[in-house]
Amino acid sequence: MRIATRERRARLGVRHRLAVKAGTPEEVAAAVVALHGTDPATVFLSAGARLLAPGPEPVERALYAEHTLVRMTGMRRTVFVVPAELVPVVHHSTMPAIARRERASMLKALAPGGWDEAWFKDVEASVLRILAESGDQTATGLGVLEPRLREQVRVAVGKPYEGVVSVGSRLLPLMAMDGLLVRRARVSGTWVSGTHYWALAQEPAQEPAQPTADEARTELVARWLAAFGPGTEADLKWWTGWTLKDVRGALAGTGAVAVELDGGGTGYVLPDDLPREQEAGEPWAALLPALDPTPMGWQERDWYLPGEHRAELFDRSGNVGPTVWWDGRVVGGWAQRRDGEIVWRLLEDVGADAKAAIETEAALLASWVGEVRVTPRFRTPLERALSAP
């Protein structure tokens, strides 16, 4: 069985809610499994590109009032925003192993200050007690109530990246990786602000009802295949950050079926998601932000992102910048200038109809972003060039 590239692009448009818009941010997050949250603006811009009525308000409500979306550390030690019901799956599929490595790294880095594991456990217990008694707190607020979090240590001595860090800057994210804390509402500013409150996790990761690691990995891969399939083992290994053994075990657990892909290679789909002829829908345009889950969803990207575009659209660490899409392919990039104007540039000729559709999307984006100014946390060559005065 073969799934042609044109069908993969059609699936992407429909399943990622780019060709058929969603009604709520929760639907958006579920459609792509998880929204990238390393850059706070990405969450809002990714949702906005997929919503029937885009704007920051429904996303803020889901994140900060209703808690139906949760910001957490997940695959590849990346911060994601996931549907609340998926938090245990993401945590148990990935985080215990990462947290163990991070804890060992932290203890090694901070050992010169005389801090050992027993000391850290006592500070952790104090943080949990403070949050239970006083409610959500910023990192600064926690440092006032638990001064040990403010203690400083010099790390990577003698290396180019030597610096001074606080105990809290290492310990609080680690407690989140352990499933003890979550990041809640922003403190001040607009929706692009990265300052947030720390809060107790609603459901501690050690609850006995939580899935096993194998169960969680199988469930997460099933969700990924439903959204991103067909995908290769290499795609899954990159997206999850797992070992190849764990990837193959989870694929087997889903009963995934192998299919041929255009250009060679083997992809996988769920058993009830075999290739079928589909009527071509209306072509669609989209302006997706830096680190959007769609361009970051696969490692093998040639079927939707021409290789000649990559130097302009990625930074040196492999982070994608803002992209312009036409009917399932990346065809250019965009940026916001200081005066708020949304500007874009095509990297290939796509015709007048495509240009008109892209212009409409750019105008819609400008209308709801309003006075907010968005600068991606990871700058790319094309974004820098477009945003320059």
Render 294-343 in DSSP notation, one character per residue: TTTS-S--TTTS-GGGHHHHB-TTS-B--EEEETTEEEEEEEE-TTS-EE
Lowest mean pLDDT among 47-56, 74-83, 190-199: 190-199
Cα dihedral: 233, 239, 240, 246 (round 10): 10
Lowest mean pLDDT among 138-142, 192-196, 349-353, 383-387: 192-196
Is residue 176 situated within a structural domain? Answer: yes
Mean pLDDT of 148-175: 84
Residue 203 pLDDT level (bands cut at 50, 70, 90): low
Is residue 369 situated within a structural domain? Answer: yes
290 lies in the same domain as 193: no
- Radius of gyration of the chain, Cα coordinates, nearest whole angstrom: 22
The CATH number of the domain holding residue 162 is: 1.10.10
Query: pLDDT averaged over the chain?
Result: 92
Contact call for residues 333 and 312 (beta carbons, < 8 A) = yes
**Per-residue pLDDT tens over the stretch 176-197:** 999 899 887 666 678 988 888 8
Last residue of a domain, one of 154, 179, 200: 200
Is residue 336 situated within a structural domain? Answer: yes
Judged against a pLDDT cut of 80, whether residue 155 lies above it is answered with no
Is residue 179 situated within a structural domain? Answer: yes
Question: Where in the sequence is the domain holding 338, given as residue range(s)?
Answer: 285-387
pTM: 0.91
Residue 248 pLDDT level (bands cut at 50, 70, 90): very high
Is residue 11 situated within a structural domain? Answer: no
Judged against a pLDDT cut of 80, whether residue 302 lies above it is answered with yes
Mean pLDDT of 337-358: 97
**How many domains is the chain built from?**
2
Beta bridge partners of 351: none
On the CB side of 205, how many CA atoms lie within 13 Å of its CA?
A: 24
Last residue of a domain, one of 183, 200, 217: 200
Is residue 9 situated within a structural domain? Answer: no
Is residue 155 situated within a structural domain? Answer: yes
Residue 204 pLDDT level (bands cut at 50, 70, 90): very low
- Please report the pLDDT score of residue 109 as a whole number: 81
Last residue of a domain, one of 200, 221, 239: 200
Residue 206 pLDDT level (bands cut at 50, 70, 90): very low
Q: Calculate helix-pair angle for 213-228, 5-15, nearest 10 degrees.
A: 110
94 lies in the same domain as 192: yes
Residue tagged 């720390």 (tokens): 198
Q: Where are the beta strands (DSSP E) in the chain?
A: 2-3, 35-36, 69-73, 79-83, 152-155, 163-166, 181-186, 196-200, 257-261, 266-269, 285-288, 323-326, 329-336, 342-346
